[in-house]
């Protein structure tokens, strides 16, 4: 059964297999800093054996369709398995799509009454080459949620800074719509794919959501992943200019 | 005919410029992929920046071997070449080739380089060509 739930701002969210449960955990891994969110989400889709249950189409997306193993694939896909719903994209979202996508996606997620909606990303770290174990930072759209997320040992609160692009807008929409929305970031190369940073987030999510996922295969295939993701990273770098992603390297101004 | 308001004119101009930039970037992607296809070379992702009295280049070279990286430097350029092997398929994917013109002259004798987790970092001191002047 195909169920079209949202069609706003030229964005259509289609459930090819309806998602009717509540208290789900949504994970969003659109490409941005170090492709960290994308690597985490695709790794979990593979390792947890999530099933494709829908897709997102938008007028502002380029007219492209992906082909994998002789099969057509939508660019933005939704996967489901147990309580996890994962959203992934094969292309970076155009800057002009950040706000309408966040609005439509969060309204759709709210209709599912989720337990959590988590964006996954890299935190640009110019000194990344000297860091062997990237730090993980969490931020909820409200302080109580941040406190809950930081209870997992070894993670830090994201205290100050900017979050640009669709991930920042998702936090904003979740905050406004009172959906438990958060972002999890790992210190990462800005414009090189960073499987090492992704592995730290996988470890964090395993503890937070009680998932049984081994990160060893991810670390073992890190170089191969970096090779395969070079073109996506190059295009994502271009998109990041459009949403002022480099702003994440700055701190908000302080007025004394 | 009704005249467009100023804000509309500015917005249209910004969109036109955005489209121009996208077109130029698409041309660059096309050139990179054509060159890679024809010459079996790979243009690595890289960053070049100045920090204080140093010029720093980092290049993402996954699948390279430290012993096989050829780094040549002049006063105003870095040239990097290295075979790239797929760690999983164990075949040579191509050869990384990167030739970067530097924004300022460097002293090649000060260059140091390291390769860690697939990323090559090259650091060089800027060449001092000016005179120190006392401020009164």
Residues in chain A with pLDDT < 70?
1-8, 256
Cβ atoms of A230 and B96 closer than 8 Å: no
Which residue has tokens 């904003």? A172
- Alpha carbons B11 and B8: distance in angstroms, whole number: 5
Cβ neighbour number for residue A154 with a 10 Å cutoff: 12
The runs of H, that is alpha helices, within A125-256 are 143-149, 166-177, 195-209, 216-220, 222-228, 230-242
Under an 8 A CB cutoff, do A224 and B86 touch? yes
pLDDT for the residue B128: 80
Give phi and psi for A245, each to the nearest 5.
Answer: -65, -30
pLDDT for the residue A6: 54
Of B29, B84, B117, the CB nearest to A196: B117
> How high is the ipTM of this complex?
0.83
What token pair was written down for B85?
């092997």
pLDDT for the residue B93: 75
Give the residue on B whose Cα is nearest the Cα of A237: B45
- CATH class of the domain at A11-56+81-249: alpha beta
Q: Give the best residue of A34, A191, A192 to mutate against chain B (max B CB count within 10 A).
A: A192
pLDDT for the residue A178: 96
Give phi and psi for B118, each to the nearest 5.
Answer: 85, 0
- Alpha carbons B78 and B74: distance in angstroms, whole number: 7
- Alpha carbons A174 and A180: distance in angstroms, whole number: 7
Tell me whether A175 touches chain B (CB under 8 Å): no
Give the mean pLDDT of chain B. Answer: 87
Which H or E element spans position A5?
strand A3-8
CB within 8 Å of chain A, chain B residues 13-72: 18, 25, 29, 32-33, 42, 44-45, 47, 58, 60, 62-63
What token pair was written down for A43?
């790794």
Tell me whether B97 touches chain A (CB under 8 Å): no
pLDDT for the residue B113: 96
Q: In chain A, which residues have their Cβ closer than 8 Å to the Cβ of B117?
A: 129, 196, 222
Q: Which sequence spans correspond to the domains of chain A?
A: 11-56+81-249
- Going by their DSSP bridges, the two strands A155-157 and A136-140 should be labelled as parallel
- Alpha carbons A99 and A43: distance in angstroms, whole number: 27
Q: In chain A, which residues have their Cβ closer than 8 Å to the Cβ of B97?
A: none
Percent of residues in chain B assigned helix, strand, coil, to nearest 5: 30, 40, 30
Q: Which residues of A96-131 are buried (b: 16+ CB within 10 A; e: fewer)?
A: ebbbbbbbbbbbbbbebebebbbbbbbbbbeebbee
Residue A34 C-alpha, separation from nearest chain B C-alpha, in angstroms: 12
- CA-nearest of A147, A155, A140 to A203 is A155
DSSP, collapsed to helix, strand or coil, labels residue A45 as helix
Length of chain B: 136
Cβ neighbour number for residue A244 with a 10 Å cutoff: 14
Length of chain A: 256
Of B58, B62, B121, the CB nearest to A227: B62
pLDDT for the residue B15: 73
Q: CATH fold of B40-125, please? A: Immunoglobulin-like (2.60.40)
pLDDT tens digits, B31-69: 888 877 777 788 899 999 999 999 999 999 999 999 999
- CA-nearest of A137, A160, A146, A164 to A240 is A164
pLDDT tens digits, A86-109: 999 999 998 888 999 999 999 999
Beta strands in A32-167 (DSSP E): 51-58, 66-68, 71-73, 76-81, 84-89, 116-124, 136-140, 155-157
Residue B24's pLDDT band (boundaries 50, 70, 90)? confident
Q: Give the best residue of A223, A228, A241 to mutate against chain B (max B CB count within 10 A).
A: A223
- CA-nearest of A235, A240, A31 to B30 is A235
What Å distances lie between residue A210 and A57, A83, A152, A206, CA to CA? Answer: 32, 11, 11, 5
pLDDT for the residue A114: 97
- Alpha carbons B73 and B110: distance in angstroms, whole number: 11
């Amino acid at each position: 059964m195909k169920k079209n739930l949202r069609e706003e701002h030229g964005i259509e969210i289609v459930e090819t297999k309806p998602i009717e449960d509540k208290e789900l955990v949504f994970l969003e891994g659109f490409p941005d800093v170090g492709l960290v969110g994308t690597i985490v989400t695709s790794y979990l889709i593979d390792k947890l054996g999530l099933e494709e249950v829908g897709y997102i189409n938008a007028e502002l997306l380029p007219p492209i369709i992906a082909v994998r193993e002789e099969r057509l694939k939508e660019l933005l896909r939704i996967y489901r398995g147990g309580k996890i719903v994962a959203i992934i994209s094969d292309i970076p979202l155009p800057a002009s799509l950040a706000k309408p996508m966040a609005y439509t996606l969060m309204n759709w997620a709210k209709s599912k009454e989720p337990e959590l909606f988590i964006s996954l990303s890299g935190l640009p770290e110019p000194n990344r080459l000297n860091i062997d174990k990237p730090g993980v930072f969490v931020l909820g759209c409200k302080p109580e949620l941040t406190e809950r997320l930081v209870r997992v040992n070894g993670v830090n609160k994201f205290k100050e800074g900017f979050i640009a692009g669709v991930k920042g807008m998702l936090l904003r929409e979740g905050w406004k719509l009172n959906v438990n929305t958060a972002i999890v970031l790992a210190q990462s190369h800005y414009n090189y794919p960073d499987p090492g940073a992704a592995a730290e987030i996988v470890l964090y999510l395993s503890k937070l959501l009680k998932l049984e996922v081994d990160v060893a295969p991810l670390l073992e295939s890190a170089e191969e992943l970096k090779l395969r993701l070079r073109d996506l990273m190059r295009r994502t770098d271009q998109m990041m200019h459009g949403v002022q992603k480099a702003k994440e390297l700055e701190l908000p101004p302080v007025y004394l | 005919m009704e005249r467009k308001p100023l804000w509309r004119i500015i917005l249209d101009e910004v969109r036109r410029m955005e489209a121009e930039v996208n077109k130029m970037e698409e041309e660059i992607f096309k050139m990179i992929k054509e060159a890679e296809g024809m010459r079996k070379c790979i243009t690595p992702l890289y960053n070049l920046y100045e920090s204080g009295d140093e010029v720093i280049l980092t290049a993402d070279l996954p699948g390279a071997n430290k012993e096989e990286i050829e780094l040549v430097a002049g006063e105003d350029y870095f040239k990097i070449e290295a075979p790239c092997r797929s760690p999983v398929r164990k075949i040579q994917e191509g050869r990384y080739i990167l030739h970067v013109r530097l924004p300022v002259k460097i002293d090649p004798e000060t260059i140091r380089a390291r390769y860690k987790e697939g990323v090559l970092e090259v650091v060089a001191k800027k060449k001092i060509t000016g005179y120190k002047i006392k401020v009164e």
